[in-house]
A and B are shown apart, each in its own frame.
Chain A
Amino acid sequence: MGILIGVLEQGLIYGIMALGVYITYKILDFPDLTTDGSFPAGAAITAVLLTKGINPYLSLLISFISGMVIGALTGIIHVKFKVRDLLSGIIMMTALYSINLRIAGKANVPLFSQNTVFDNSFVNSIFPQSLVLYKTVIIALILTLITKFILDAYLNTKSGFLLRAVGNNETLVTTLAKDTGLVKILGLAIANGLVAMSGSIMCQQQRFFDISMGTGTVVIGLANVIIGTNVFKNVSAVKATTAVLFGAVVYKACVAFAISRGLSATDMKFITAFLFLVILVITMDRKKKVKKNA
Chain B
Amino acid sequence: MLELKNIDKYYNVGTVNEMCLFNDFNFTVNDGEFVSVVGSNGSGKTSMLNLICGSTYVDGGQIIMNGEDITNKKEFLRYNDIGRVYQNPSMGTCPDMTILENMALADNKAKSYGLSLGINKKRIEYYKEQLSTLNLGLEDKLHIKVGVLSGGQRQAMALLMATMTDIKFLILDEHTAALDPKTADLIMKITDDVVREKHLTTVMVTHNLRYAVEYGSRLIMMNQGHIVMDKGGDEKANLNVDDILDVFNKISIECGN
Q: Could you tell me which A residues sit within 8 Å of B by CB distance?
A: 154, 156-162, 164-165, 168-169, 171-180
Bound state CA distance, A164 and B104, in angstroms? 13
Nearest residue (CB) in B for A169 is B94
A197 shortest CB reach to chain B, Å: 19
B105 touches A162 (CB 8 A): yes
Q: Which residues of A contact B113 (CB under 8 A)?
A: 158-159, 161-162, 178
Q: Which residues of B contact A157 (CB under 8 A)?
A: 114-118
Contact with A along B59-102 (1 / 0, CB 8 A): 00000000000000011111110111010001111111100010
Contact with A along B105-120 (1 / 0, CB 8 A): 1101110111111110
B164 shortest CB reach to chain A, Å: 10
Interface residues of B in 100-151 (CB under 8 A from A): 101, 104-106, 108-110, 112-119
Q: Which residues of A contact B91 (CB under 8 A)?
A: 169, 171-172
Which of the residues B76, B92, B95 comes within 8 Å of A177, measured between beta carbons?
B76
Chain B's interface: helix, strand, loop or mixed, by majority? loop
Q: Does B160 contact A (CB under 8 A)?
A: no
A121 shortest CB reach to chain B, Å: 35
A168 touches B95 (CB 8 A): yes
Q: Does B7 contact A (CB under 8 A)?
A: no
B57 shortest CB reach to chain A, Å: 15
B76 touches A165 (CB 8 A): no
What's the count of A-B pairs with C-beta under 8 Å?
A: 82
A105 shortest CB reach to chain B, Å: 38
Q: Which residues of B contact A160 (CB under 8 A)?
A: 118
B182 shortest CB reach to chain A, Å: 26
Which of the residues A159, A165, A168, A173 comes within 8 Å of B115, measured between beta carbons?
A159
A164 touches B75 (CB 8 A): no
A154 shortest CB reach to chain B, Å: 8
A11 shortest CB reach to chain B, Å: 27
A161 touches B118 (CB 8 A): yes
Nearest residue (CB) in B for A170 is B91
Bound state CA distance, A161 and B75, in angstroms? 21
Bound state CA distance, A164 and B145, in angstroms? 13
Q: Which residues of A contact B96 (CB under 8 A)?
A: 164, 168
Bound state CA distance, A177 and B113, in angstroms? 11
A177 touches B114 (CB 8 A): no
A157 shortest CB reach to chain B, Å: 5
Bound state CA distance, A175 and B165, in angstroms? 12
Bound state CA distance, A172 and B95, in angstroms? 11
Bound state CA distance, A174 and B82, in angstroms? 11
Which of the residues A154, A161, A171 comes within 8 Å of B97, measured between beta carbons?
A161
Q: Does B162 contact A (CB under 8 A)?
A: yes
Q: Which residues of A contact B94 (CB under 8 A)?
A: 164-165, 168-169, 172
Nearest residue (CB) in B for A176 is B109
Q: Which residues of B contact A169 (CB under 8 A)?
A: 90-91, 93-95
Q: Which residues of A contact B118 (CB under 8 A)?
A: 156-158, 160-161
Which of the residues B83, B86, B110 comes within 8 Å of A171, measured between beta carbons?
B86
B106 touches A156 (CB 8 A): no
B106 touches A176 (CB 8 A): yes
Bound state CA distance, A221 and B57, in angstroms? 41
A79 shortest CB reach to chain B, Å: 13
Which of the residues A154, A161, A171 comes within 8 Å of B101, measured between beta carbons?
A161
Q: Which residues of B contact A164 (CB under 8 A)?
A: 94, 96-97, 101
Q: Which residues of B contact A156 (CB under 8 A)?
A: 117-119
Bound state CA distance, A178 and B82, in angstroms? 13
- Closest 4 interchain pairs by CB? A168-B94, A158-B113, A177-B79, A161-B118
- Of B90, B96, B110, most A-chain CB atoms within 10 Å: B96
A168 touches B97 (CB 8 A): yes
A82 shortest CB reach to chain B, Å: 15
A178 touches B76 (CB 8 A): yes
Bound state CA distance, A198 and B10, in angstroms? 51
Q: Which residues of B contact A173 (CB under 8 A)?
A: 76
